[in-house]
Amino acid sequence: MNWQAVQITTQNQAIEAVSEIFLSVGAQGVQIDDESDVQVIAYFEANDQFPAIVTTIRTRLAALANFGIDASPATITIDGIAQSDWENNWKQYYHAQRITRHLTVVPSWETFTPVQAEEKPIIMDPKLAFGTGTHETTQLMMEALETVVRGGETMIDVGTGSGVLAVAARQLGVGHILATDIDEMSVAVAKENLALNPVAADIPVIASDLLADVATAPVDLIVANILADVIARLIPQTVSRLKPTGYFLVSGIYDAIAPDIQAQLNAAGYRIVQKSQMGEWHSYIAQQKEAEPCNDIF
Binding residues for S-adenosyl-L-methionine: 138, 159, 181, 225
Going by C-alpha positions, the residue among 105, 213, 99 that lies closest to residue 158 is 213
Distance CA 159, CA 252 (A): 11
Inter-residue contact 136 to 176 (CB < 8 Å): no
Give phi and psi for 40, each to the nearest 5.
-110, 125
Binding residue positions: 138, 159, 181, 225
Is the sign of the CA dihedral 185, 167, 278, 227 positive or negative? Answer: positive
Distance CA 88, CA 100 (A): 27
Cα separation values, 29 from 75, 234, 283, Å: 20, 31, 26
Decide the pairing of beta strands 120-124 and 155-158.
unpaired
Q: Angle at Cα 291 formed by Cα 287 and Cα 180, nearest 5°? A: 40
